[in-house]
Amino acid sequence: MSETKAVAVFASGGGTNLQSLIDTFGADGSPDPSARIALVVTDRPGIRALERAEKAGAPTATIPPKEYESTDAFAAALLEVLSEHRIDLIALAGYLKLIPAKVVEAYRGRIVNIHPAPLPAFGGPGMYGHHVHEAVLECNAAVSGPTIHFVDERYDTGPIIGQWPVPVQPDDTPDTLAARVLRYEHKLYPAVLRALARGEVELLPDGKVRRGVFAAGEQGFQLGDEEAALGSVQPAWKA
């Protein structure tokens, strides 16, 4: 068994994806020894994500970008706290700030993000929260669903690791679609982070993504049977 990887989760809001990672790995790696939630970083105080971290016994750090005179100073503050906690991997979970380039470079291939819609179609600056689901509905898309990707220096453009298709219903609103997609996010993110921690997923020097046994369980997806899909269907890993 490989060593337990120390993960920092970055969040800006309620932290439901953070909670799914805490439930899977815990702050000490006891539920699943692949990883442990060793730090939770937020850009603002007083948010639900901090409460979730404190309840789980995970250390926290609140680092508002506006308190720093430059992006480099903000990056230095992030790198200092990541080094202090000996962080191996970073998972962005509803974190709304652009990660500074110096942090991306230091953690290249070790920092991932979850986005609540298919990329690259529904990504980029301003595409977060209800804005994403509104865009999906405005395009009359038949399928939505979360995307997990490696993080680069821009919003939502890093190499894609996996996507899980989620059906869009004719009577969906942004809120109902968001709720349906979120249920899949909570299944997909722990699976991807576990695979990354175990070395089953890797960002190669040419920007391609290597997948080992992580992709071996791929199955088909039936749009007409959502409940069955939640219980039995594996993500559709991007080739």
pLDDT value at residue 213: 55
Domain boundaries, the chain: 5-232
CA distance 33 to 3: 8
pLDDT value at residue 60: 98
Q: Which residues are catalytic?
A: 115
CA distance 238 to 66: 37
Helices (H) then strands (E): counts for the chain: 7, 11
- Which tops the pLDDT comparison, 31 or 160? 160
For the beta carbon of residue 196, count every other beta carbon within 10 angstroms.
27
pLDDT value at residue 236: 42
pLDDT value at residue 13: 93
Given CA atoms 146, 233, 160, 82 in this order, what sign does their dihedral have?
positive
- Averaged pLDDT, 85-114: 97
pLDDT at residue 221 tops 80: no
pLDDT value at residue 128: 87
Q: Percentage of the chain with pLDDT > 70? A: 88
CA distance 201 to 171: 37
Global model pTM greater than 0.85: yes
pLDDT value at residue 211: 80
CA distance 85 to 7: 9
- Averaged pLDDT, 183-212: 93
The tens digit of pLDDT for each residue in 145-175 reads: 999 999 999 999 999 999 999 999 999 999 9
| CATH 3.40.50.170 is the classification of domain 5-232 | yes
pLDDT value at residue 205: 94
SS3 call for 83: helix
Q: Percentage of the chain with pLDDT > 90? A: 82
- Averaged pLDDT, 108-137: 93
The tens digit of pLDDT for each residue in 56-79 reads: 999 999 999 999 999 999 999 999
